[in-house]
Amino acid sequence: MNVSMIGINFAYVISAALFIFGLKMLSSPATARRGNLVSALGMLLAIVVTLLAQGLDYKWIILGMAVGTAIGLVAAYRVEMTAMPEMVALFNGFGGIASLLLAWGEYHQYPQMSTFIAIVAFLSAFIGGVTFTGSMVAYGKLAGRINTKAILFKGQHLINAGILLLAIGAAVLFSMHPASGGGYALFLLIIVLALSFGVTSTIPIGGADMPVVISLLNSYSGLAACAAGFVISNNILIVAGALVGASGIILTNIMCKAMNRSLANVLFSGFGAVTQAGEGGGEQGEIRPATAEDVYYILEAADSVVFVPGYGLAVAQAQHVVRELGDLLEANGTEVSYAIHPVAGRMPGHMNVLLAEANVPYDQLVEMDDINPRMDSVDVCVVIGANDVVNPAALEDESSPIYGMPIIETFRAKTVIVLKRSMNPGFAGIQNALFFRPNTRMFFGDAKASIQALIAEFKGSD
């Protein structure tokens, strides 16, 4: 190792420390923004010292970085906050394909690999490929470009298991003789298998399970970078990749717990493919529709109001009007808070970001475990586009597919107002027992238009 190599590696140590500090600062809203900048500084440092190395071909580097920066910046500043899940999925997939390409390029240039390097090259290419197509499918589902329902096909598990076994078999043969002509063919086969596996393993997973999938793909992209680090013996790739891998696994675990399901169940069961025909017959009863005026009188008289947002809030782009209504209620002397279920929306923390965009102060956002114990003293719960996460069947009906999932126990509030387009069941395809409770009023219509009508009532009464 010559002097400049030692210098570069020393700078990588500093970069790793900056990533660690950055992630640590992300754990509090007060320091999170600086944390992200610290982490970005670590990345910048790593890039700059890498570019100082001898013998680099700058024309390709400048071309690649210019194109990448332009695309990245435009995408980051154009994207709507409601579309954040698909943006993250897309970026994630690009990280995955980069790891695949890096491993391929390395193998193409130096086919005489040791068995260990060949194995990690396989891992980098395979995980990277799965991350790429898996993220693209997730993107397609989130952006509504492909069917968001779980798509099940015959022999699905057999096909997935077959692809996986084939890939492992190819990897064993490849790592024994990477330099032979057959080795190159095997490597290409591994890439094709990885790309197919990403599609076949993600397509059966339905829209509301996306928080789990995105977390998991996030973890994969870190692990792919990590494997790429082993291929080129680069510490910073290994450390940074491992940090991301670990963070993705933790988020995946939190999301699964919030749905009371195992990861295997989320990945393999095709949950949500059942249509409303299957369930929902039992829980019928009378529903009580309310007009904007009715809801206005209920809210006007309330001392405490808790908004419970769900994916419908994002679809209707209703976050700004909700905040406006919240401000009017506060001006009226009502205590306002926003209760957020961990899997509300399409990615972890999705609702928090939307409400932050609408300038809702983060100290008004409360977690499920904080609101449930004091739900009995809440006057009014306003459910906006949330469904399964407030369904009391999860607590009471053992035959329900979502039985056991922790929910925001809105039904215990004195009055529940549900904003909903129509009586269609939620993602899980099950009828919501909450709608038939005696203390529930249904306020039908587009969430944004409904809330605007309420705001008009409040303003009209002044």
Partner 1 sequence: MEAVYLTFVFVLAIFLGFELISKVPSILHTPLMSGSNAISGITLIGALASLQTDHHGFTAFLGTLAVIFATINVVGGYAVTNRMLEMFKKKDEGGGQ
* One-letter amino acid for residue 171 of the chain: A
Three-state DSSP class for 342?
coil
Contacts of 309 (CB under 8 A, 6+ apart): 319, 322, 338, 340, 344, 345, 351, 354, 355, 384, 385, 386
CB under 8 Å, gap of 24 or more: what pairs does 275-280 form?
275/429, 276/424, 276/425, 276/429, 276/430, 276/431, 278/429, 279/400, 279/401, 279/425, 279/429, 279/430, 279/431, 280/425, 280/429, 280/430, 280/431
The answer to whether 41 and 19 are in contact (CB under 8 A) is no
Q: What angle do CA 99, 105, 111 make, to 5 degrees?
A: 120
Contact range with partner 1 by CB under 8 A, out of 179-187, 246-254, 291-299, 443-451 = 246-254
Using the minimum distance from each CB to partner 1, give the nearer residue, 364 or 452: 364
Asked if residue 22 binds partner 1 (CB under 8 A), the reply is yes
Contacts to partner 1 from residues 374-433, by CB under 8 A = none
Binding track over 150-179 against partner 1, x by CB under 8 A = ------------------------------
CB of 152 to partner 1, least distance (A): 28
* Cα 405 from Cα 310, distance rounded (Å): 16
- Our answer to whether residue 446 is catalytic in this structure is no
With contacts defined by CB under 8 A, how many residues of the chain interact with partner 1? Answer: 113
Q: Per rule CB under 8 A, is residue 240 in the interface with partner 1?
A: yes
Q: Which bin fits 415, alpha (ψ -120 to 50), beta or left (φ > 0)?
A: beta
- Site mask, partner 1, residues 60-89, x = CB under 8 A? xx-xxx-xxx-xxx-xxx-x-x--x--xx-
Q: Does 452 bind partner 1 (CB under 8 A)?
A: no
Which residue's CB is nearer to partner 1, number 330 or number 396? Answer: 330
Residue 222 touches partner 1, criterion: CB under 8 A: yes
Please identify, among the stretches 157-165, 212-220, 294-302, 433-441, the one whose residues bind partner 1 according to the rule CB under 8 A: 212-220
Nearest to partner 1 of 24, 374 (CB atom): 24
Residue 245 touching partner 1 (CB under 8 A): yes
- Buried b or exposed e, range 35-70, using 16+ CB within 10 angstroms: beebbebbeebbeebbeeeeeeeeeeeeeeeeeeee
SS3 assignment for 191-217? HHHHHHHHHHHHCCCCHHHHHHHHHHH
Q: Are 219 and 247 in contact (CB under 8 A)?
A: yes
Q: Count other C-beta atoms under 10 Å from residue 272's C-beta.
A: 22
- Active-site residue among 294, 388, 397, 462? 388
Q: Which residues from 292-331 bind partner 1, rule CB under 8 A?
A: 327, 330
Residues 336-365 that bind partner 1 (CB under 8 A): 340, 342, 347-350, 352-353, 356-357, 359-365
Cβ–Cβ contacts within 10 Å for residue 269, how many? Answer: 18
For residue 436, the minimal CB distance to partner 1 (Å) is: 30
- 20 contacts partner 1 (rule: CB under 8 A): yes
- Contacts of partner 1 in 365-384 (CB under 8 A): 365, 367
Task: Give least dist CB 349 to partner 1, A.
Answer: 3
| Span near partner 1 by CB under 8 A; candidates 41-49, 144-152, 170-178, 181-189 | 41-49
Q: Rule CB under 8 A: which of 94-123 touch partner 1?
A: 94-95, 97-99, 101-102, 104-106, 108-109, 116
Catalytically annotated residues: 388
